[in-house]
Structure 1
Amino acid sequence: MKEQILSHLDNPGQLEKLYRANKSGFKQEFSGIYPQLQDKALAGFWYERLNYETEDVFWRFNREFLFVIIAALVAGILVKLPAIFPISEEFYYPRNLSFFVLPPLMAYFAWRNKLPANRIAFIAAITVVCALYINLLPDNQSDTLVLACIHLPLLLWVLLGVSYTGRELHLADKRLSFLRFNGDLAVMSALLVIAAGMLTGITIGLFALIGLRIEEFYFEYIVAFGLPAVPIVAAYLTQNNPQLVNKVSPVIAKIFSPLVLVMLVIYLGAIIYSGKDPYNDREFLLLFNVLLIGVMALIFFSVAESSNKSGAASGVWVLLLLSVVTVVVNGIALSAISFRISEWGITPNRVAVMGGNVLMLVHLLIVTVMLFKAATRKAAITEVGRSIVLYIPVYFFWTVVVVFLFPIMFGFK
């Protein structure tokens, strides 16, 4: 979109079309190039328009909102399929959990971005293939089945990124925008869940006062339809009201980055003191890897937020130190899984964890080097963001291997 904005600077009508097609994307790209356009009157007008602070929340019953309602209803129906058809819940939910939200979000952004028919067909075909494949795997509770169910959401998340980026998938800035969207979506979804939780408590309490116990009905239908609708509604709100989270998300990133850094350092010391180790404790190693993924997500989210604006150098140094500590954590996890493989042999779980840890370590090292360059003013923070998003396809290909090839390689065990 950046190139389109620059090429149509003297065409107000075309700029308006670009803005209406993708308001949040237009604002983000325009803000990035505005410093070089300050001498142009039209650019100044757009800057003031895009940065005008308003307290109003865009919530209009139009075609987009109707589409969101339909998508939310579809998500709710998918959740309730075992109640409609004779389908085992134990079979259905672990395999199809990721299909409740991600495909409706794909459809929303495909519609919003007016994707060409061939791109929509590509996304839909892969989604259908994934749905058929995961539901046709043998129902033997094998390790490869569990791994496929765990990794499938990541594969669908990449497809969501394809839908979100629209015709600009090849642009690193647009991929970085997708990472920012995920952070904003998480913040908005959390706020909606908190508000919905309060409403649930009040509603159930009020009905209890008049002697009506509605808990079973409420959770069976209202919550079942409401929960999968949360991220869909949150996506609608973030896209049409970027001012709602534009200030909250960076603050969260700035607050939690140093806190997590301190926590990690203390935690590593506590591990040594307690004598607990991931080498002989499988559950501890699992939690260790979950911690690693969470910290990596925080780093990437913080970089994505920082790349959208000029941040303080101290923030970059915090991210650099956090990355270094995370590399240490990853090294411990990698050595632990290597030890377990050498001691007890190869299993699907160990190979999957080993491969994931290697990929994350390489990625972390790349990001750490780029953060060091950014901290020492040898590179812009945007270059760090590019190093993050350009590596995402590697995770995608590894996910494809785990989901589709592991069951065959290990005999569906």
Structure 2
Amino acid sequence: MERADIQLNANIRKEILEHQNDAGYLEMLYRGNRVQFKKEFLQVYPDLSNNPLAEFWYERLSDEGIVISDKSKVKSEEGIVKSDERIVKSEEGIVKSEEGIVKSDEGIVKSEERIVKSEGLLVVVVASIVAAIIAKLPAILGLAEEAFYVRNVGFIVFPVLAGYFAWKNKVSRLNISIIGLVFLLCAIFINLLPDVESDVTTLSCIHLLLLLWAVLGFAFVGSIKSLHEKRLAYLKFNGDLGIMSGLLLIAGGVLSGVTIGLFELLGLKIENFYMSYIGIVALSAIPVIATYLIEKNPHLVGRITPVIARIFSPLVLIMLLVYLVAIIYSEKNPYNDRDFLMIFNALLVGVMAVIFFSVAGDTSVTKKSLQIWILFLLSAVTVIVNGIALSAILFRISEWGISPNRAAVLGANLLILANLLIVSVQLFKAAAGKGEPETVGRAISGFLPVYIIWATIVTFGFPILF
């Protein structure tokens, strides 16, 4: 067989050499056995390099090789493409699998969110029940209601709210222990004080509320060394809490009136039972429920407080101006009337709140220079009012000597005056375009530790000093 192949190859080579100038014969040989013809022709081609017909066949056979090679490459590339398609399909399968995992993760996240919401609602319910139990302790333990509520009204609201924020903000166990210990010590101290009708005890009870409010702020913020933004957020929360609690109180009052009225139509008098149980329980739960609603609807509630404050700021300014003029022609004055002086001090706190909430929570006020000027005038007039109140206190001290009430009011007025002066300077800078309105909020929040220190001194120090 091998000899036959060799003989065939030799014959083809011989035929090519003999008929190298006969195009028709070479074509016949080529078609008879293309593979052998090509092989033998390429071997003898160096001897035929000067033959034009041989050049033609060389180019022809070379092109066929390229074509064959190209076809192989195409087939190879087609195989690669098919392989790539399989890879793409595999990757698509992986992507779909990953999408399934993502959807599964989203489902897990949604499930976790539902769990958190249900847990939050459960915490609110438990906190409301705890507040209601604390509010009903006089009836449960047979205590005098008036003495209990005067001393412990703050413990109905602040501890449960602090517990809620400690849970929500995931406060550390150490900080939770500190919060609980402070509440416990305050409760023990205030209930060990003597007669509730004494001035010192009354002052301690009043300033204790501010101290408990600060402890709640610690739970809200999460640390003592908090940023101004967190303190501002806490102050804004208090404004929102006041608005939401007021709305709930109005709605609850309407519902209570309708309920009592409907039962009266049936000849049933339920006022005492309703107020002793349902009314007190509802009142104690309102701050907790309001807090929960604020947390769930921050954008809705947070816009109401600054709007109300900006509406009332020019009205309060006009009222103060008219009030100062009326004092001149009135027979009453803070120098001789104690109640008049107390109203003056309450007015100072209210004006500070109006100023703060007017510039807090809404950036649009920064573009309204008229609003800033109104707030500056309001703070300036309030400084005058504070000056009158301070002079009245000093007059009363010089006439009748120092007392716990006069010392407490003097300290509070000095602090408020200092804070008002700082706020007025910041408002003037903002109105003149030399500062930002946000600095007013920082001036108020930055002064909070000073108020807390003074409240601590009055709460714990005055019973010892006086």
The answer, yes or no, to whether TM exceeds 0.5 is yes
2: CA distance between counterparts of 1:366 and 1:220?
46
SS of aligned partner of 2:203: helix
Aligned to 1:85: 141
Tell me by how many angstroms 1:309 deviates.
6.6
1:162 correspondence with 2:218: yes
Does residue 274 of the first structure (1) align with residue 274 of the second (2)?
A: no
Aligned counterparts, 1:85-164, within 5 A: 85-139=141-195, 141-164=197-220
Distance 1:177 1:99, change over 3 A: same
Map of 2:256 onto structure 1: 200
Equivalence map 1:1-400=2 (5 Å): 62-139=118-195, 141-167=197-223, 169-306=225-362, 310-400=366-456
Mapped partners of 2:364, 2:189: distance in 1? 39
CA deviations over 1:170-210 (Å, ceiling 9, x no partner): 21011101111111111111111111111111111111112
Residues 311 and 188 of structure 1, relative CA distance in 2, 3 Å threshold: farther
> What is the aligned-residue identity percentage?
55
Whichever residue aligns with residue 197 of structure 2, its letter is Q
**1:108 & 1:360 partners in 2: Cα distance?**
31
**May I ask how many residue pairs the two structures share in their alignment?**
355
What CA distance in whole angstroms lies between the structure 2 residues aligned with 1:174 and 1:134? 29
SS of residue matched to 2:214? helix
The 10-residue stretch of structure 1 (60-69 or 188-197) with the greater mean CA deviation from structure 2: 60-69
| Structure number with bigger Rg | 2
CA contact 2:426–2:440 (8 Å) conserved in 1: yes
2:360 counterpart SS class: helix
- Any idea what the Cα deviations from partners look like across 1:114-167, whole Å, max 9, x if unmatched? 001111111111111100000011226221101001111000111111111125
The residue aligned with 1:33 is none
Could you say what the CA RMSD is over the residues aligned between the two structures, in angstroms? 2.0
Q: Once structures 1 and 2 are overlaid, which stretch shifts more, 135-144 or 224-233?
A: 135-144
Contact 1:306 1:381 in 2 (8 A): no
Partner of 2:302, secondary structure, is coil
Q: What is the SS of the residue equivalent to 2:316?
A: helix
Counterpart secondary structure, 2:222: helix
Quote how far apart the aligned CAs of 1:313 are: 1.5
Q: Distance in 2 between matches of 1:139 and 1:204?
A: 37
Q: CA 1:102–1:307 in structure 2 vs 1: closer, same or farther (change >3 Å)?
A: farther
- For the 8 Å contact 1:105–1:160, the answer to whether it is kept is yes
Point out where structure 1 has 5 or more consecutive residues left out of the alignment.
1-15, 24-57
- Checking the alignment, whether the CA contact within 8 Å between 1:168 and 1:174 is kept in structure 2 is no
CA contact (8 A) 1:300 1:388 kept: yes
Amino acid at match of 2:272: E
Aligned partners of 2:138 and 2:145 also within 8 Å = yes
Instruction: For residues 31-70 of structure 1, give each alpha carbon's deviation from its aligned partner in whole angstroms, at most 9, with x where no partner exists.
Output: xxxxxxxxxxxxxxxxxxxxxxxxxxx9x96111111111
Give, in angstroms, the shift of residue 97 of structure 1. Answer: 0.9
Aligned-partner Cα distance in 1 for 2:277–2:442: 43
Amino acid at match of 2:216: L
One-letter amino acid of the structure 2 residue matched with residue 158 of structure 1: A
Paired amino acid for 1:221:
Y
Structure 1 pair 164–311 and aligned structure 2 pair: CA distance change class (3 A): farther
Deviations 1:230-254 (A, max 9, x none): 1111111011111331332222011
Closer, same or farther: CA 308–159 of 1 in aligned 2, 3 Å: farther
C-alpha distance in structure 2 between counterparts of 1:276 and 1:138, whole Å: 34
Are the counterparts in 2 of residues 177 and 304 from structure 1 also a CA contact under 8 Å? no
Work out whether residues 304 and 385 of structure 1, in 8 Å CA contact, stay in contact via their aligned partners in 2. Answer: yes
SS at match of 2:335: coil
Contact 1:257 1:298 in 2 (8 A): yes
**C-alpha displacement at 1:337, in angstroms?**
0.3
Q: Is the CA contact (8 Å cut-off) linking 2:169 and 2:222 kept in structure 1? A: yes
CA separation in 2, counterparts of 1:259 and 1:334? 24
Q: What code does the residue aligned with 1:131 have? A: A
Amino acid aligned to 2:433? R
Distance in 2 (alpha carbons) for counterparts of 1:379 and 1:123? 37
Measured in 1, the distance between the counterparts of 2:364 and 2:409 equals 33
CA contact under 8 A between 1:279 and 1:285: conserved in structure 2? yes
Determine the C-alpha separation between the residues in 2 that align with 1:154 and 1:167. Answer: 18
CA distance in 1, matches of 2:313, 2:151: 34
| Higher share in helix | 2
TM-score of the aligned structures, taking structure 2 as reference length: 0.73
Q: Which ranges of 4 or more aligned residues in structure 1 deviate by more than 6 Å?
A: none
